[in-house]
Structure 1
Amino acid sequence: MLDFLHLLRGRIVDYIDIDLTLWLTWCLTPLIVTFLLPLIIVILFYFTAFTLYIYKLHWRNIKDTLSSGDRWTAARKFVGAIWDAHGWIWHNYEIEGWENIPDSEPALIIYYHGAIPIDIYYFLAKVYLNKNRMVHTVADNFLFKFSGFGIIADCMKVIPGTIQSCANLLKEGNIIAISPGGVYEAQFSRNYNLMWKKRFGFAKVAIEAKVKIIPMYTENLREAFRTVSIGRRIFLRLYARFKLPFAPIYGGFPVKLVSHIGKPIDYDPNLTPEELQKKVGDSLTELINRHQRKPGSILMGLMDRIPYFRKHFHQKISHNE
């Protein structure tokens, strides 16, 4: 009898262990996957760097086949095609407001910064492939310390950016994209609120170069990648001290992404940098409120990939307005 009870207890323990293991596997797998998906972006990033290194090493062998004097021309087309394909497959990425992007004139694009600015990568690729214009982008200084970023910055015209250097690029007829919120907005923005504080640098650039400003925001960007909200105060303190992103990022959800390009804000010599910052902020906020579902929903962002569902949602938004 005792042997039977020991055997029965052993079977029950084995069953519980197996059942618990399966339960943990089913529960933890989605959590693990959501933190692993951002690695796809890192892998694609370093694949880009690897491609450019190969291109750089073999430049002498292929330069005679290129009509352009810029050694990066073919590389940009190739890399742009990779990112454009990724955007189309994974996020069904689109741009609305193409007519607001100038074909030849200089302009300053001011955009909302997501947890990962994946939309900017897609946007740069589409503009270059469709309009044959290279959009210069301003990135945070810490990115230039990462191995592999230097060659990407060299090819794709990514700069740390000072007021004077940005103004000079605009005076030369280029397009520049800047996110005033930067890493701070990427880490701590909730519900698509702008977090610019007292950052007037971009306004000073526009006034110095006498160019128009174009607001830009990408629908469902915060549903593609999110930052962990638990421990927000700790991450805020760490950011205030080190100016680095410490809040973990999770996601990679294949939600529908649409970059909305707002109407240009023309140069006005009567506006101060503070007034211009507010005017641009109000315009960008209005653009967000017009197109973004609040609060954001990953499920609804996925449903937006279905044309009928997305059309119905925007008809509802238009009716409410």
Structure 2
Amino acid sequence: MDRIVFCLSFIPKMTAENTNYTLGQEPLAWLTYILEDYRNYLAYPLIMSVILIILYYPFAVLFFIVYCGSAFYAISKNFYKLPEDITNEKWDKIKQRFAFLSDIAGKILHGYEVCGIENLPKGPALLVYYHGSIPIDYYLFVLRIYRVTGRFPYSVIDNFLSLLPGLKLYLQLGRCGNPTREECVEILKKGNLLGLAPGGLREQNYGDKNYKLLWGKRKGFAQVAIDAKVPIIPLFTQNNREGYRIYGNTAPMRWLYERTRSILFPAYGLFPVKLRTHIGQPIPYNPNLSAEELAEKTKIAMEALRDKHQKIPGSILRALWERFETHHKDE
């Protein structure tokens, strides 16, 4: 009994002295007292959460989709008692189901299509894509390729994503990671497809409706292709930046990004524009090309693919109208 009295002594006393009522007069007195006395502790985090959602809601939608996928895999693993070895063929059916569901979402959101699948070689290749405001196009591309060809490409992602909790199984099944250059070469030498975006977060944050490539002097991807002796396949998604746009390209945000290299600029969008990923002609392995020359050749091929399929500057209204235009599907 003495212990109970001692513990209760730390609870604020609710009398007429610190409230307008006593505990016996109001059944919800405790709740009212907590909300009134601690409203700042509740309101400020709530307000900040709302502000962050407003500033980053397209990213929130993408993360929601990813976490739904993670939950789908985790539930399927327990329900079907799947093995820990994710390379086991028992996982294939589950991955195909998830790819099917994602494909439906892509068609509803953006009427998503892939053109030029015949340009993918049967052997290994390095897939190089333009990094838009939100890479949902590449996410849909990988799963569409898996559905159509049965090949699940490996993907190089920013290390930030691998640090998010609850995504370990999802990233493993999706073959996503942040491998070293040597590991990338080994992945390709084993006959796989490997996708990456040379522009990375810089291209995502600094890019605009003119679709300028922001690769700088990056040539590591070209050296990987040379070391693995594989072709490079350029990828470009039409209307990528009309569905989602960045608006935080300001001096303070640039200052933060240059020092952290992990800042996502605020974005808006989720417009139901037409997204169509075009697979370009392979750039074959040439032992006589240096990494600098191959990187430049890849950049030129990407710009040609962009100029052929993307009207510049991009227009949200025009991209919306393209949902209703007929187009020859080459899948």
TM-score (norm 1): 0.80
Matched, 1:139 2:139: no
Match of 1:150 in 2: 168
For residues 205 and 38 of structure 1, the distance between their equivalents in structure 2, rounded to whole angstroms, comes to 30
Q: Mapping of 1:216-295 within 5 angstroms? A: 216-229=235-248, 231-295=249-313
For residues 94 and 263 of structure 2, the distance between their equivalents in structure 1, rounded to whole angstroms, comes to 30
| Corresponding pairs, count | 272
For residues 201 and 92 of structure 2, the distance between their equivalents in structure 1, rounded to whole angstroms, comes to 30
Q: Mapping of 1:197-208 within 5 angstroms? A: 197-208=216-227
Matched, 1:127 2:145: yes
Q: Which of 51, 72, 81 lines up with 2:72 in the alignment? A: 51
Q: Cα offset for 1:201?
A: 1.0
Q: Cα offset for 1:150?
A: 1.8
Q: Cα offset for 1:296?
A: 0.7
Whether the 8 Å contact between 1:92 and 1:257 is mirrored in structure 2 is yes
Q: Cα offset for 1:268?
A: 0.5
Q: Cα offset for 1:200?
A: 1.0
Q: Cα offset for 1:156?
A: 0.8
For residues 56 and 257 of structure 2, the distance between their equivalents in structure 1, rounded to whole angstroms, comes to 21
Q: Cα offset for 1:265?
A: 0.3
Match of 1:86 in 2: 105
1:288 alignment partner, SS class: helix
Matched, 1:214 2:233: yes
Q: Which has the higher helix share?
A: 1
Q: Cα offset for 1:133?
A: 0.4
Whether the 8 Å contact between 1:139 and 1:160 is mirrored in structure 2 is yes
For residues 58 and 290 of structure 2, the distance between their equivalents in structure 1, rounded to whole angstroms, comes to 43
Unaligned 5+ residue runs, structure 2? Answer: 1-52
Q: Which has the larger radius of gyration?
A: 2
Whether the 8 Å contact between 2:58 and 2:244 is mirrored in structure 1 is no
RMSD of aligned C-alpha atoms? 1.9
Q: Which of 306, 319, 322 lines up with 1:301 in the alignment? A: 319
Residues 120-178 of structure 1: CA deviation (Å, up to 9, x unaligned): 11111111011000110000111111112222111110120211101111110000011
Work out the percentage of aligned pairs sharing the same amino acid.
Answer: 38
1:72 alignment partner, SS class: helix
Matched, 1:109 2:130: no
For residues 119 and 285 of structure 2, the distance between their equivalents in structure 1, rounded to whole angstroms, comes to 15
Letter in structure 2 aligned against 1:285? E
Match of 1:73 in 2: 92
Q: Cα offset for 1:35?
A: 5.9
Whether the 8 Å contact between 2:241 and 2:314 is mirrored in structure 1 is yes
Whether the 8 Å contact between 1:38 and 1:251 is mirrored in structure 2 is no
Whether the 8 Å contact between 1:214 and 1:265 is mirrored in structure 2 is yes
2:323 alignment partner, SS class: coil
Match of 1:161 in 2: 179
Letter in structure 2 aligned against 1:128? Y
Letter in structure 2 aligned against 1:84? D
Q: Cα offset for 1:34?
A: 9.1
Q: Cα offset for 1:56?
A: 2.5
TM-score (norm 2): 0.78
Q: Cα offset for 1:37?
A: 5.0
Matched, 1:178 2:196: yes
Whether the 8 Å contact between 2:154 and 2:195 is mirrored in structure 1 is yes
1:81 alignment partner, SS class: helix
2:236 alignment partner, SS class: strand
Match of 1:96 in 2: 115
For residues 211 and 276 of structure 2, the distance between their equivalents in structure 1, rounded to whole angstroms, comes to 15
